[in-house]
Structure 1
Amino acid sequence: MSKNSQFTPTELHHWQLTLAEANRHNIFCHCRHCEAEWVDSSEEAACPHCGSKNIERIACWQFPDD
């Protein structure tokens, strides 16, 4: 464990699992073709508006709540 870590190895593992779970179910999607935006749990989904596969995906946990 790093001297600078604020987590025990068990806590760090739990935190990483929590982030992985959030990533699997809360993906902000932006279609580069038609500019549509939506939240999805699939990393392979096409745009529901135009069918494009040219999608930018960002994990929602990266956005502030306010």
Structure 2
Amino acid sequence: MKETSNLFTPKELADWQQALDLANYTNILHHCHVCDREWVASTEEICCCGSRSVERIACWQFPDD
């Protein structure tokens, strides 16, 4: 299996990484482990119930279907 860095030129790899960073920044799914609330925000947040026990998953990891 080829390494990812061998599949792209240095500029293509930098562009791809920048696109992922932007997707992560603008769409983060939050799930509170205390009250089960879920929401999407562009920054890491605590839950409105006050809990800091929040799981965060970048939305780009979910399929679009």
Q: Structure 1-normalised TM-score?
A: 0.86
After superposition, what is the alpha-carbon deviation per residue over 1:15-52, rounded to whole angstroms, capped at 9, x for unaligned?
A: 00010011011000000000000001111x1112x121
1:52 corresponds in structure 2 to 51
Amino acid at match of 1:15: W
Q: Which ranges of structure 2 fall in alignment gaps of 5 or more residues? A: none
Structure with the larger helix share: 2
Off by >6 Å, runs of 4+ in structure 1: none
Q: Percent identity?
A: 56
Amino acid at match of 1:54: S
Corresponding residue pairs, total:
62
Q: CA RMSD in A?
A: 1.4
1:25 corresponds in structure 2 to 26
Q: Which ranges of structure 1 fall in alignment gaps of 5 or more residues? A: none
